[in-house]
Structure 1
Amino acid sequence: MNEFVETIESSDMGIEVYFANGLRKIKPYYHSRTSFAKGRWLNRKLLEVLSSEFRSQSSEEYAKAIIRQEFQIIRENIALSAEETLQTTIQNKDLIKTTSHKHEPPVKQWNSEEISKKGSTIAGIEIIHECDEMLVLNKPSGVPIHPTGQYYQNTLVEILNTHGRSVLPSHRLDKVTSGVLILAKNSIMANKIQRNIREHRMQKVYLVRVDGQFPKVDTLGDSDATKITMFSKLFSNPSKFTTEKSAMFTVEMKKQFPAAFSVAREATTIFYPVKYFPDTNETLVACQPLTGRTHQIRIHLARLGHPISNDSFYNYKITKFPRRLSFILGVNDWNDGKHATADLEIHFDEFVRESEKVQLNSCSSSNKTCPECGGKLYSDPELRDLELYLHAWKYSDVEGEMSFETSLPAWAFNNDPYHENRSFTSRPNFSLPP
């Protein structure tokens, strides 16, 4: 196993980054954050507050954490001892300091070296455009944009910060999605881009690789001339359009019922077939989303019966969440009056059990724990789960002030490195689970 180790300095401490098995990993590190005590916490002991408002651990576990000084009260710039923190009540102007041993999940390694070349690459990532107001990148798949959940140092915003670029995300692009990523260098530009997106003044073209022979696709040869032709004529023939319009929603398992069910909203996507690959029975398709719903393209393709080939959630052949997938694809609007609250709650409980099973399976088979903090250690993700054949190819605004296009991803041609290694299951019935 080849590993390359480098040290990156963060604002807190040295962050050790290393690469192994195609993954970018970060050695576990201690991270502290401090915040003012909330008004409702005043005159209460910290242990009581933690036990009643943050129920991820028991009171006994929180007490042990206080003794280890993972939770401290800072009073008049002085950290109280563990015994004092356990016994005293929280006072006005107290600060609560939390120190945790962070185990960040690995992300997909995008380059052999994270080097920067002026006008060409930064941290080994292709620069599409850079000026005083924005930085536009060809985002690699498998890397989140900004700190979220367990990810902090292993995010593009923080990685760019270590390379001297302070940027603000201006639009959404999922961790597994690649392609055009516009990062603003100031809040004015970020707000402008976000406003253009809200007002549908940005035109976007995505490329996907889907299962099956997509409707109205031509069977073309593989000559260089054909490749140029098929991309230059995208959306030129309306008779080849496939338009999917339907309401959609998502189910966020980090939330409780019924807040986990997002509001269903109408969504429209236009699809245009580009190239059929008979060897793998897959099609390259261009997509124009006319609305901006979460997972819109993925859901619409799955409802059409042509899910993205390597989509480990919305592809019925390889999904790890068949019950939740069946519900999302079979129901356009969970709040249309056809589904009783009690039935929805039953479905949600099934989704919770399904997610817990997947989470349990992701734990290390040896059931190892961290020797420093006692936290569970998880197995490395499979590389195929960190890449999605969904690529943001073109972004432009209606005024013509911005127009960005990336190079084509490798999977846009007749090459699918994961195809032979897939394990297939039967397609579920899209009726509601019993």
Structure 2
Amino acid sequence: MPFITKKLFSPVRQMALSFLMNELGLSRSEGQRLIARGRLSQNGSVMDDQFGFIEGDCEFICFEPDTRGFKPMFVANDFVIYDKPSGLSVHPHSRQSPYTLNDEIKHQFGDEANATHRIDQETSGLVLVSRHKKSESVLKRLFSERAITKRYLAMVKGCVEHPIDIQEPLYRKDHPNLLISMVVKVDPKGKPAHTVINPLRYFPEHDMTLVEASPLTGRTHQIRVHLFHVKHPIIGDPVYGPTEENVIRFIKKELSPIERMEIGGSTRLLLHAHSLEFEYENEVYKVESEKDFVKECFEAMGISQ
């Protein structure tokens, strides 16, 4: 597990921040951030005051990357791009989270490297990663200014004959069950959201269509909710389409692959972040996934092409 507890010892009374900077080689800002997150404790009590003092035995919770040798598909001086498989989270959700893409990012490119955006654990495809703080700031600004063009591929139910321009506001559902409150829906109270759908290929024998989805805004679950709204849900979506009971079972990780296949027609969400296009330091980059998404769809659906 990436998060481990280190036993440390301060031989003299000293400021907690100075101790961590000297003991672990942390920068001042990194030490302040980790203390504020409650990573340092003594005698069972969390030390969350950077100006506090520490002496004697103490414990520090730190992140130690657990590499499995997963390499990026594209490497530049200031950033890299990974082609993430479905099922792998970008960041750990808690200190108990198992292996994530963040393990490889930190292991291969150091503590300053960071994913500049997120895609869902269930979604496969391209993740843009900065190699240092300067490029992180630039790339995140490009995302916030919508200067990075993202295109996704999705296999959806039914026949999509013509392009669809979807402009429906999205709202996080208010529900007494906290798990269900993660679900997003089309609602006038929501934030503006805009997705353009273009059909690429119809498979009449399975009544499904491969589409390209271009999100012009960046709302949570935007493509998934918009496609569900226009009656072309993504095959294998465990949240938008199944019953509330099965949504809860999925979120609790209680659904087996066989059950997922029976409920949604696939063992995974058939959504793939296929390409990224942006300008960085006067150079235009257009990177496309090398994965055969159609082949992966058929495999996940348990059918032969």
TM-score by length of 1: 0.49
* Alignment check: 8 A CA contact 1:396 1:403 kept: yes
Aligned pairs for 1:196-275 (under 5 A) are 196-216=142-162, 241-251=163-173, 264-275=190-201
Q: Indicate the SS of the match to 2:150.
A: strand
CA distance in 1, matches of 2:115, 2:5: 23
Residue 288 of structure 2 corresponds to: 405
Residue 321 of structure 1 corresponds to: 244
Q: CA deviation at 1:279?
A: 1.9
Q: 1:388 aligns with which of 269, 274, 282?
A: 269
Residue 300 of structure 1 corresponds to: 226
Q: CA deviation at 1:253?
A: 7.3
Q: Indicate the SS of the match to 2:194.
A: strand
Q: 1:194 aligns with which of 140, 151, 158?
A: 140
Write the deviation string for residues 200-240 of structure 1: whole angstroms up to 9, x where unpaired. Answer: 11111100000111133xxxxxxxxxxxxxxxxxxxxxxxx
Q: Indicate the SS of the match to 2:238.
A: coil
Q: What 5-or-longer segments of structure 1 have no aligned partner? A: 1-7, 14-32, 38-68, 80-94, 100-112, 115-122, 217-240, 324-353, 363-378, 421-434
Residues 1:290 and 1:250: Cα distance change in structure 2 (over 3 Å): same
Residue 157 of structure 1 corresponds to: 102
Q: 2:73 aligns with which of 92, 114, 128?
A: 128
CA distance in 1, matches of 2:139, 2:126: 13
* Alignment check: 8 A CA contact 1:284 1:412 kept: no
Moved more, 387-396 or 408-417: 408-417
Residue 147, structure 1, aligned to residue 125, structure 2: no
* Alignment check: 8 A CA contact 1:391 1:409 kept: no
Residues 1:267 and 1:152: Cα distance change in structure 2 (over 3 Å): same
Aligned pairs for 1:30-69 (under 5 A) are 34-35=39-40
Q: 2:211 aligns with which of 274, 285, 293?
A: 285
Decide which structure has greater strand share: 2
* Alignment check: 8 A CA contact 1:144 1:155 kept: yes
Aligned-partner residue type, residue 321 of structure 1? E
Residue 173, structure 1, aligned to residue 151, structure 2: no
Residue 77 of structure 1 corresponds to: 55
Residues 1:77 and 1:193: Cα distance change in structure 2 (over 3 Å): same
Residues 1:124 and 1:254: Cα distance change in structure 2 (over 3 Å): farther
Q: Indicate the SS of the match to 2:284.
A: coil
* Alignment check: 8 A CA contact 2:238 2:250 kept: no
Residues 1:419 and 1:210: Cα distance change in structure 2 (over 3 Å): farther
Q: CA deviation at 1:301?
A: 0.1
Q: Indicate the SS of the match to 1:197.
A: helix
Q: CA deviation at 1:260?
A: 7.4
CA distance in 2, matches of 1:73, 1:408: 46
* Alignment check: 8 A CA contact 1:142 1:386 kept: no
CA distance in 1, matches of 2:251, 2:270: 24
Task: Kindly name which structure, 1 or 2, has the bigger radius of gyration based on alpha carbons.
Answer: 1
CA distance in 1, matches of 2:286, 2:169: 30
* Alignment check: 8 A CA contact 2:200 2:209 kept: yes
CA distance in 2, matches of 1:35, 1:197: 34
* Alignment check: 8 A CA contact 2:2 2:99 kept: no
Q: CA deviation at 1:73?
A: 6.9
Aligned-partner residue type, residue 155 of structure 2? R
Residue 418, structure 1, aligned to residue 301, structure 2: yes
CA distance in 1, matches of 2:46, 2:193: 48
CA distance in 2, matches of 1:184, 1:148: 20
Residues 1:307 and 1:416: Cα distance change in structure 2 (over 3 Å): farther
Q: CA deviation at 1:410?
A: 3.8
CA distance in 1, matches of 2:297, 2:177: 41
Q: CA deviation at 1:128?
A: 2.5
Aligned-partner residue type, residue 415 of structure 1? F
Q: Indicate the SS of the match to 2:294.
A: helix
CA distance in 2, matches of 1:299, 1:289: 12
* Alignment check: 8 A CA contact 2:41 2:60 kept: no
Residues 1:76 and 1:153: Cα distance change in structure 2 (over 3 Å): same
Residues 1:138 and 1:291: Cα distance change in structure 2 (over 3 Å): same
Residue 120 of structure 1 corresponds to: none
CA distance in 2, matches of 1:407, 1:391: 11
CA distance in 1, matches of 2:278, 2:172: 28
Q: Indicate the SS of the match to 2:88.
A: coil
Residues 1:187 and 1:252: Cα distance change in structure 2 (over 3 Å): farther
Moved more, 184-193 or 141-150: 141-150
Write the deviation string for residues 355-380 of structure 1: whole angstroms up to 9, x where unpaired. Answer: 4x767783xxxxxxxxxxxxxxxx97
Write the deviation string for residues 297-330 of structure 1: whole angstroms up to 9, x where unpaired. Answer: 000000000000110111x2xx24279xxxxxxx
